[in-house]
Amino acid sequence: MTPLELLWNGWRATYVQSGGAAGGVPSDDGTSIFTRILRSGLPDTESHIVHRGELVFAIMNAFPYSVGHVLVLPFREIGDLEDLTVDEAAELWPTVTSAVQVLKSVMNPGGVNVGINLGEPAGGSVRQHLHVHVVPRWIGDGNFMTATANTRTLPEALPDTAAKLRAAWPTSTAPVT
């Protein structure tokens, strides 16, 4: 066995054991993982919510593509962009912009990916609850581990990253200027 075969990447266990559907499988009442988190009553520090607005919130991705991967979504569980109310749509994009700005200031990435996967064919794993991915990127972060072992290495624990982002988030819903 080579050392690479023994690399511990424990955060992936839940995702792998679920067949890649962790969080994407609705509960018995049909609600998404995000709705269940919101209803859990857990404090934001335990649920990894880094920002709450009036109609949308930002949460750390439990199965991140890279360290700092944030999801921005409406509190209301909807699956498609066209289902957003005017007010939800008006708050969503400035919150995405704030997420980008906070990630740039805290994580100092070389770039940022922003995207939405609508529907299962597009890669939407939690398709019943619209969410925008905001992913900081660095040159070399898609190295041989991702390409050959389908494994990502994260240099920082999720709660630590969440605390940094939460502390840096602007208090208003307007993007940082």
- The C-alpha atoms of residue 172 and residue 54 are separated, in whole angstroms, by 10
Residue 51 annotated in active site: no
Catalytic residue among 51, 69, 131, 133: 131
| Rounded (10°) angle between helices 86-107 and 158-168 | 110
14-42: burial string, b at 16+ Cβ within 10 Å, e else: ebeeeeeebbbebeeeebbbbbebbeeee
- The C-alpha atoms of residue 30 and residue 98 are separated, in whole angstroms, by 31
Kindly list the catalytic residues. Answer: 131
